[in-house]
Amino acid sequence: MAPKVLVSDKLSETAVQIFRDRGIDVDFQPDLGKDKDKLLEVIGQYDGLAIRSATKVTDKILAAADNLKVVGRAGIGTDNVDKDAASKKGVIVMNTPFGNTITTAEHAIAMMFAVARQIPEASASTHAGKWEKSKFMGVELTNKTLGVIGAGNIGSIVCDRARGLRMKVIAYDPFLSEEKAQKMQVEKVELEDLLKRADFITLHVPLTDATRNILSREALEKTKKGVRIINCARGGLVDEEALADLLKSGHVAGAAFDVFSVEPATENPLFGLPNVVCTPHLGAATTEAQENVALQVAEQMSNYLLTGAVENALNMPSVTAEEAKVMGPWVKLAGHLGSFIGQLTDEPIKAINILYDGTVAEMNLEALNCAAIAGIMKRVNPDVNMVSAPVIAKDKGIKISTTNQDKSGAFDGYIKMTVVTTKRERSIAGTVFSDGKPRFIQIKGINIDAEIGAHMLYTTNEDVPGIIGLLGNTMGKNGVNIANFTLGRNEVGGEAIALLYVDNAIPQDVLKTLEGTGMFRQVAPLEFDVA
């Protein structure tokens, strides 16, 4: 059955056609996002939801979204999506961070020109029939110092354009390396230094707890007298009341804002002040950008629903289509390893340690971790998936650690998982053979070679004669067909294990018969999703 996607905001017909061309059943209702009750009523039937900013994906909407797997936002900002609720529900949230980078960067440069030369006020004055040539004395950008707060996708483009204008560019970004700064031909500085030196300051960071009010009253008071502030990133990065006061005092010479702490902004401390340029969140408002993000979100959502590729997700590691093809069997293996341990573990888990060896150590380990954790969690929560599992593990205080190493044994690559509980440690390892099928290769330090089936039986016992016959006879007498039988032991007469791959689920009375023999320390039926 084809995946079904709802487009609840305005998206171009070309983008909608991408879904259709990929074989996805798409329902295009561009005004539905404004009707919360109707959206709540229908959301349960869709696998994907494509939105812009009008649709509000609340925890209530997500609670009713029984089949929803992905929300795709055509644009960067996802303030209209409850990402915590989506993660707990197991819904991937994607955005399109690159479709409007050029447009937003260009708008910031345009706003910088506008405030430097007081273009909006001069235009309004001239339209009014005045000729106030001496009133609007501006400043050049050439040789001025531009302070860029945030040198990511958009900020780096602004840096490039500013250098083309012969500006001196300094950048504050905790994630900007010295090597990258040199390549960009900008000077990496601390925020305090930027505030003191910059003639113009432009912001290009997301709104987070770390960046909220980054230009506070205290920070603004440290700026160079005559500075001009440009914000085309997010409202809430600048203390607007403090900025208004400093504009009135003359310490700040001008400001250009495209975003505001409260939007839609019908009133604001900056409104009506001289040499303050304001636009209604137009950073991404070009024909090219709107088309780009629409096409991008359609492609990303289609790729995920059809191939499992994850691009530009905010609550899940990205996995390219190429990675998804190569990693598919390893993702399944990681899930099976986790499932094995999860089905055998009743006590609280304190830590999960995962070792990646050889070829698998070079893969996308974040995604593999998510699969492994999901496998463990499924026993207590069947609805858990790769998105929600890490969130649940974190909520439970489970510590996750990962180790990767070069090839160290007979296999080109393998995964070993160790779970620490309040009572014991339990470990299992597995690999993927050339046929693409996952195998268990070690349990409790005992080497085995076990094919993984939908229905399995795991037993532990003392290494004594008769166990194989006992298991075979019991299964045969009760009509349970064995597809594969694997044995292992740590030493002669020591601890031994058996893994049986059977055609159907083993009846409870058969399990009780085995337990009643007194020959087994543990008799555990297992189920795996091998589809």
User: Active-site positions?
Assistant: 234, 263, 281
What distance in Å separates the CA atoms of residue 401 and residue 255, rounded to the nearest whole number?
47
Alpha-carbon separation of residue 91 from 40, 183, 315, 401, 454 (angstroms): 16, 38, 9, 24, 26
The bridge status of strand 413-421 relative to strand 399-405 is unpaired
Q: Are 463 and 495 in contact (CB under 8 A)?
A: yes
Q: What is the dihedral of CA 62, 67, 70, 72, to 10 degrees?
A: -70
Buried b (16+ CB within 10 A) or exposed e, 398-437: beeeeeeeeeeeebebbbbbbbbeeeeebbbbbbbeeeee
Q: Are 390 and 373 in contact (CB under 8 A)?
A: yes
Alpha-carbon separation of residue 207 from 77, 79, 171, 181 (angstroms): 10, 10, 18, 23
Alpha-carbon separation of residue 499 from 422, 450, 488, 491, 531 (angstroms): 26, 7, 9, 17, 20
What distance in Å separates the CA atoms of residue 200 and residue 170, rounded to the nearest whole number?
10
Name the burial class of residue 322, with classes exposed (0-12), middle (13-18) and buried (19+) by CB atoms within 10 angstroms of its CB. Answer: exposed
3-state secondary structure of 18: helix
Angle (CA) 362 365 368, round 5°: 125
Structural element, H or E, at residue 241: helix 240-249
Residue 307, token pair as written in the block = 């191939």
DSSP structural state of residue 56: -
